[in-house]
Structure 1
């Protein structure tokens, strides 16, 4: 983990850190197990931890964050220029909450919806590959 990303994670409140670390772990796990993704670049974009397939350009960046202005939720963000959130919404409308056309949000006091997020992360990391097919 890069030092600036490490600093960002250490800045989260104590009750948020485990959720953010679990989400990071899930993202890295999905990237490792998804065909065509390759290595991820982990950095900060817009002050948020960001993960992007660095060598293959197979997909779009996935960002995660907790914000003090919305303290009861964590967000997972993708580019609003993609159709990803619209697709996620059609697949998981009853299971996940969405914010506009750029985010999946989930409550900090509930378990991370791992199964659904794994599918969404995989789709984001393969977005450009799957779009070509």
Structure 2
């Protein structure tokens, strides 16, 4: 079950004109919370706004790298990570068939059906535990 929005401002950030983008952003939000619930070492997830985008942090455990959701120029919606992290290169190596990236800062999407729990949940779990760096696991 996805929790209610942390604030009206966060909820408003999901009010985008493109219905497909909104559905995709909400699917990613749900996947972030579902993945966090299955990743106890991440601790509590905080939902807030950073640069006007819904952002997800691990404030108590401090194990994670911030995840952000937004609408980029070259796609309908995206999952953003810290551009200086190793997250996108690791994701690209683990899933070579996925080729929709914005440099080292985002995974790009055009269809909500492209949000896959195995593939994208893997990236989210890696971000939520980035600072404790578990061994690079092979996706199931």
The Cα RMSD (Å) is: 1.9
Aligned to 2:32: 27
- Structure having the larger proportion of residues in strand: 1
Equivalent of residue 106 in structure 1, options 80, 105, 109: 109
Q: TM-score, normalised by structure 2?
A: 0.83
Query: Is 2:42 aligned against 1:51?
Result: no
Bigger Cα displacement from structure 2, 36-45 vs 87-96: 87-96
Q: Using the alignment, how far apart are the partners of 1:40 and 1:61 within structure 2?
A: 10
1:62 positional shift = 0.5
CA deviation string 1:64-109 (max 9, x = no partner): 1124x43x43111110121111111111121342110111112226
Q: Using the alignment, how far apart are the partners of 2:95 and 2:114 within structure 1?
A: 16
Q: How does 1:1-133 map to 2 (within 5 A)?
A: 1=5, 2-67=7-72, 69-70=73-74, 72-108=75-111, 110-130=113-133
Q: TM-score, normalised by structure 1?
A: 0.87
Any idea what SS the aligned residue of 1:79 has? Answer: coil
Write out the 4+ residue segments of structure 1 that deviate beyond 6 Å after TM superposition: none
Give the aligned length. 130
1:20 positional shift = 1.4
Bigger Cα displacement from structure 2, 7-16 vs 80-89: 7-16
